[in-house]
């Protein structure tokens, strides 16, 4: 199999499970994966993708644009499109991906990830959070997102989980007025840092977290509860 991945988490999935199958990835995919790059997730260079002669292109219904995927399909390339908006949904989708890419057995990391999430204890208390994903303008996690489900399973409920949009624009004043227990600031897609983000939420607790562990579905799921849980607990001290 020759596989081009247009999704960072799926690139990691194939690189760990079937490294010889991966022949191309996006600029946003893990830097340690040594394959040609084909541009961004939203603007892949389709000529570069096709030049790699892939048997399959891996995509996601949210991360990639439908016109790009349609163009690849019209060019005769098989495109596998995933849809993952909850932790339980991730496991069968990942199994589908690795099987389509040539895995003969289910990878051990996938079993470990599923067991890790199944064994999560019931949270002792629940916290209200807002989760900015961009600034200028400020945007946050809204309804029906994988990251929101990850946080909910760790005892942190998204204030904007019932928003009309999945990624609503919300003025920072309104975010502060919501008075969440914790403001969760991931390092992707916007790279929030200690010097860029927390200063906008003076008086509120902020947790700087790994976007890979919050938003990626793949091998990172095995350690996400521990890594995210630690960052969220540290913010509450």
Token pair in block for residue 216? 């990626």
**pTM for the full predicted model:** 0.93
Residues 156 and 227 grouped into a single domain: yes
Pairing label, strands 182-186, 127-130: parallel
Residues 149 and 92 in one domain: no
Total tally of structural domains belonging to the chain:
2
Q: How far apart are CA 229 and CA 123, in angstroms?
A: 11
Per-position DSSP letters for 49-108, written without gaps between them: HHHT--SEEEEETTTS-HHHHHHHHHTT-EEEEE---SHHHHHHHHHHHHHHTT-SS--H
Look over the chain and give the mean of its residue pLDDT values, rounded to a whole number: 96
Choose between 234 and 89: higher pLDDT: 89
| pLDDT digits 0-9 by tens, 136-169 | 999 999 999 999 999 999 999 999 999 999 999 9
Of 85, 117, 149, the last residue of a domain is: 117
Q: Which CATH number do you get for residue 21? A: 3.40.50.1980
Rounded Cα distance between 108 and 183, Å, is: 34
Residue 153 lies in a domain: yes
Give pLDDT tens digits for 14-28: 999 998 999 999 999
């Amino acid at each position: 199999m020759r596989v081009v991945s247009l999704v960072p988490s799926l690139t990691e999935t194939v690189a760990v499970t079937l490294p010889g199958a991966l022949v191309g990835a996006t600029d946003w995919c893990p830097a340690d994966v040594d394959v040609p790059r084909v541009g961004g997730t939203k603007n892949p260079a389709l000529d570069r993708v096709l030049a790699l002669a892939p048997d399959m292109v891996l995509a996601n219904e949210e991360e990639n644009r439908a016109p790009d995927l349609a163009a690849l399909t019209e060019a005769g390339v098989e495109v596998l499109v995933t849809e993952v908006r909850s932790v339980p949904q991730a496991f069968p989708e990942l199994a589908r991906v690795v099987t389509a890419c040539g895995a003969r057995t289910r990878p051990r990391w996938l079993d470990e990830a599923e067991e890790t999430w199944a064994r999560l204890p019931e949270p002792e208390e629940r916290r209200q959070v807002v989760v900015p994903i961009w600034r200028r303008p400020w945007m946050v996690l809204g309804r029906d997102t994988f990251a929101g489900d990850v946080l909910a399973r760790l005892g942190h409920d998204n204030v904007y989980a019932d928003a009309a949009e999945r990624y609503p624009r919300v003025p920072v004043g309104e975010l502060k007025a919501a008075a969440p227990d914790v403001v969760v600031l991931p390092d992707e897609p916007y790279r929030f840092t200690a010097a860029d983000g927390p200063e906008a939420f003076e008086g509120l607790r902020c947790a700087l977290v790994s976007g890979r562990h919050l938003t990626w579905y793949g091998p990172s799921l095995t350690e996400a509860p521990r890594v995210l849980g630690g960052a969220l607990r540290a913010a509450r001290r």
